[in-house]
Amino acid sequence: MSTNPTPAQAPTAQLRDHRRRFRVLSEIAEGAFGKVYLAEQLAGDGFSRVVALKILRDDLMQDVGAIAALQRECEHVRALDHPNVLRVDGVH
């Protein structure tokens, strides 16, 4: 586990989707499907919060089975309601 990823280790310094922007702070873990990062979610209005960001491996981005497995994982986690379990905010 790396606590301070170099630019080569981090997916990018800032990840963007159509609504959000993330700044990767450190790598938390790596598994069979991808990596989990500690990241800061940034918004245009100055809002930010620390989040866990799971990113699927590049070679699995078009794999229908891997995408379905990740979606099932998110559905299962969304069904949990406990202060020690992360809340799933979105899948993109």
Q: Please write the tens of the pLDDT for every residue from 24-59.
A: 999 999 998 889 999 998 887 788 889 888 888 999
Q: Compute the half-sphere exposure of residue 31: CA atoms within 13 Å on the CB side of its CA.
A: 9
Q: Which residue has the higher pLDDT, 39 or 18?
A: 39
Q: Which residue has the higher pLDDT, 11 or 18?
A: 11
pTM of the model: 0.69
Is residue 10 predicted with pLDDT exceeding 80? Answer: no
Instruction: Tell me if 30 sits within 8 A of 5, measured CB to CB.
Output: no
What is the average pLDDT score of the chain?
A: 79
